[in-house]
């Protein structure tokens, strides 16, 4: 059984066409014979063909046209590139042939040849459209989010940095997942309808650069059917090995070898786990800096809900990019204060925080434009009994929320209104929805004393607030931790209102006297005692950090499985 995903770097590809034909021929030979209904179709037939999901609130994902795709929603995986033999988009950016950029001569360098990891549709002048597998040449990488490139088939323009990679680098390999947590790697290889031997290589979350190989060891995706192998480095960084009897100069060579035979692993490597495409860093390169946009570029399509400060709409930017548009009631705040708060959101960039794209402040009502989350608020998602939520999914959502809050904690940002209603839900990966912390309308940068004192007369969510915040309006990261404990109660009760049967004044009085809500029926005792009660400690200094909370939930199921398995010596 051969691999068509990895070739040693010394092997040269004569042309996109030849590579495409070769890879498709090999792809059809991967699947073992014996079941005409499941194993003799080409990859595109079995796994579907890609199309943009366009959902701006989960990562921008790709649909598999397959009735049994991930959790009955095919928008989470995309087909493997077949050599970059793709059709050109109609919009190729500038074709003027001008060899100047920002007044500086530009030159092509062979070492700066890029390959597109995902397709991208330009919707602004100066950006460049491309298809997955297209080849480009890097001209200017001074902007960390947008690179200026020349397409191999003509045209220059900006492309999002996270959609491309330098050719013949680890980042460009289909099977390389980057620095992701162990549980995220497991979800990727356990996606529905992927075969035994589906794999990825990830960078481990350690201070030193280490790698791990994650393999799906069954066709049914049952619990415990994923194996992890540490990939160790030879002295002097001269190569890699899983077992000392076989060493490899590169990770690509390692993948090629174990695609031919298992040689001590649980099984051969068969299929790279599908990557999840990132969201665009901005609506366009231009809006990265000029994020005040004309409101006539927005179309408000469907009202999603009302809030204390305005309405939330589903809409589109320039008729194509799906966004969420929050409208602020006139007189809510001054343009200066509004922009100051929006600036905080704009600077936040994390996979578990809702991305702010742009604002409209030239006239009221003011608009905040963010990524669109297809499944709405976590509170509504929890209360919808048609949504099956396993313990694994609940724990994973707890980890994702803590991960986003850890990012704010590291930057001394206090949210002040952390609750299920302010967490948004995207698509699912192996039964677990992507969730992101939203509604930074109340977020504030903490001063040196790490306390934010709210203005007089401000309204606070009493049942989600610690006593000091509810009675004095003093907010810290530790008050966010208290709110996180209440959010866990919401998750494990499927969205019940905290402190059932108690009004706000009674809640304050009882909590001051030491009352704490009992353990929800579906909540594991360990989570209640080691997390929830500690989040509600009267002494803020004894409450856990979000860093601790994230790692608690991220590692929650690790104790029931071996972290890494040694290769067989047979």
Tens of pLDDT, residues 246-258: 999 999 999 999 9
CA distance readout (Å), 419 to 180, 275, 416, 499: 26, 30, 9, 14
From 23-27, 322-326, 356-360, 528-532, the region with the lowest mean pLDDT: 23-27
Pairing, β 198-203 against β 271-272: parallel
Q: Which carries the bigger pLDDT value, residue 504 or residue 221?
A: 504
From 139-153, 296-310, 363-377, the region with the lowest mean pLDDT: 296-310
Round the average pLDDT of the chain to a whole number and report it: 78
Per-residue pLDDT for 191 more than 90? no
Per-residue pLDDT for 520 more than 50? yes
Q: What is the pLDDT of residue 282?
A: 87
pLDDT in tens, 422-444: 999 998 887 789 999 997 654 55
Q: Which of 92-101, 183-192, 561-570 has the highest mean pLDDT?
A: 183-192
From CA 467, how far away is CA 489, in angstroms rounded? 18
In three-state secondary structure terms, 368 is strand
- The residues carrying an active-site annotation are 417
Q: What is the pLDDT of residue 334?
A: 79
From 304-313, 421-430, 464-473, 476-485, the region with the lowest mean pLDDT: 464-473
Per-residue pLDDT for 455 more than 70? no
Q: What is the pLDDT of residue 331?
A: 80
From CA 550, how far away is CA 352, in angstroms rounded? 12
Per-residue pLDDT for 471 more than 80? no
Per-residue pLDDT for 82 more than 60? no
Phi (first) and psi of residue 200, to 5 degrees: -155, 160
From CA 333, how far away is CA 248, in angstroms rounded? 61
Instruction: Show the DSSP H helices in 32-151 as ranges.
Output: 43-47
In three-state secondary structure terms, 190 is coil
Q: Which carries the bigger pLDDT value, residue 292 or residue 3?
A: 292
43 pLDDT band (50/70/90 cuts)? very low
Whole-prediction pTM: 0.73
Q: Mean pLDDT throughout 462-478?
A: 79
Q: What is the pLDDT of residue 12?
A: 40
Q: Which carries the bigger pLDDT value, residue 551 or residue 441?
A: 551
Q: Which of 105-109, 237-241, 428-432, 554-558 has the highest mean pLDDT?
A: 237-241
State both tokens at 216.
């799906």
3-state secondary structure 496-523: CCCCCCCCHHHHHHHHHCCCCCCCCCCC
Q: Mean pLDDT throughout 361-390?
A: 93
Q: Mean pLDDT throughout 171-198?
A: 89
Per-residue pLDDT for 47 more than 60? no
Rg (CA), the chain: 25
CB-based contact 437:62 (threshold 8 Å): no
CB-based contact 329:289 (threshold 8 Å): no
Q: What is the pLDDT of residue 320?
A: 85
Residues annotated as binding site for ATP?
326
Peptide bond into 365 cis (omega under 30): yes
Q: What angle do CA 44, 47, 50 make, to 5 degrees?
A: 70
Burial call 504-539: b when 16+ CB within 10 Å, e when fewer: eeebbeebeeeeebebbeebbeebbeebbebbbbee
Per-residue pLDDT for 216 more than 80? yes
Percent of the chain beyond pLDDT 90? Answer: 49
Q: Which carries the bigger pLDDT value, residue 138 or residue 35?
A: 138
From 167-176, 487-496, 504-513, 550-559, the region with the lowest mean pLDDT: 550-559
From 26-30, 131-135, 485-489, 564-568, the region with the lowest mean pLDDT: 26-30
């Amino acid at each position: 059984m051969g691999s068509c995903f990895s070739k040693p770097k010394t092997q040269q590809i004569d042309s996109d066409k030849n590579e495409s034909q070769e890879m498709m021929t090999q792809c059809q030979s991967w699947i073992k014979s014996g079941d005409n209904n499941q194993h003799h179709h080409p990859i595109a037939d079995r796994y579907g063909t890609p199309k943009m999901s366009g959902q701006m609130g989960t990562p921008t994902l790709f649909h598999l046209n397959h009735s049994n795709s991930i959790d009955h929603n095919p928008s989470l995986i995309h087909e493997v590139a077949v050599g970059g033999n793709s059709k050109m988009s109609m919009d190729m950016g500038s074709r003027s042939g001008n060899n100047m950029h920002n007044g500086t001569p530009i030159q092509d360098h062979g070492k700066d040849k890029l390959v597109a990891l995902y397709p991208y549709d330009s919707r602004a002048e100066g950006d460049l459209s491309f298809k997955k597998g297209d080849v480009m040449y890097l001209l200017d990488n001074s902007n960390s989010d947008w690179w200026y490139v020349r397409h191999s088939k003509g045209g220059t323009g900006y492309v999002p940095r996270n959609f491309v990679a330098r050719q013949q680098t680890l980042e460009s390999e289909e099977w390389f997942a980057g620095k992701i947590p162990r549980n995220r790697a497991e979800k990727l290889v356990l996606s529905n309808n992927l075969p035994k031997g589906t794999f990825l290589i990830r960078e481990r979350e350690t201070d030193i650069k280490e790698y791990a190989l994650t393999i799906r060891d069954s066709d049914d995706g049952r619990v415990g059917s994923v194996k992890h192998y540490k990939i160790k480095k030879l002295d002097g960084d001269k190569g890699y090995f899983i077992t000392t009897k076989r060493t490899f100069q590169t990770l690509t060579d390692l993948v090629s070898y174990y695609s031919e035979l298992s040689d001590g692993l649980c099984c051969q490597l068969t299929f790279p786990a599908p990557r999840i495409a990132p969201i665009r860093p901005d609506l366009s390169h231009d809006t990265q800096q000029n994020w005040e946009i004309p409101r006539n570029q927005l179309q408000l399509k469907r009202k999603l809900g009302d809030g204390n400060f305005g309405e939330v709409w589903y809409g589109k930017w320039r008729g194509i990019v799906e966004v969420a548009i929050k409208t602020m009631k006139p007189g809510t705040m001054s343009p200066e204060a509004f922009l100051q708060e929006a600036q905080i959101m704009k600077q936040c960039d994390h996979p578990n925080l809702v991305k702010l794209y742009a604002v409209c402040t030239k006239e009221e009502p003011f608009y905040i434009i963010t990524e669109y989350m297809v499944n709405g608020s976590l509170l509504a998602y929890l209360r919808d009994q048609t949504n099956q939520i396993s313990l694994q999914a609940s724990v994973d959502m707890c980890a994702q929320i803590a991960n986003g809050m850890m990012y704010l904690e590291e930057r001394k940002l206090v949210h002040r209104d952390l609750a299920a209603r302010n967490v948004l839900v995207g698509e699912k990966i192996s039964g677990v929805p992507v969730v992101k912390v939203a509604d930074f309308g109340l977020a504030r940068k903490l001063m040196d004393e790490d306390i934010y004192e709210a203005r007089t007369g401000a309204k606070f969510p009493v049942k989600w607030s610690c006593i000091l915040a509810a009675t004095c309006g003093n907010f810290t990261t530790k008050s966010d931790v208290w709110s996180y404990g209440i959010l866990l109660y919401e998750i494990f009760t499927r969205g019940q209102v905290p402190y059932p049967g108690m009004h706000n004044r009674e809640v304050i009085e009882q909590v001051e006297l030491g009352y704490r809500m009992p353990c929800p029926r579906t909540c594991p005792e360990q989570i209640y005692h080691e997390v929830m009660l500690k989040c509600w400690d009267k002494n803020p200094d004894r409450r856990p950090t979000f860093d601790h909370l994230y790692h608690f939930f991220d590692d929650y199921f690790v104790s029931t499985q071996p972290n890494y398995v040694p290769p067989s010596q047979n």
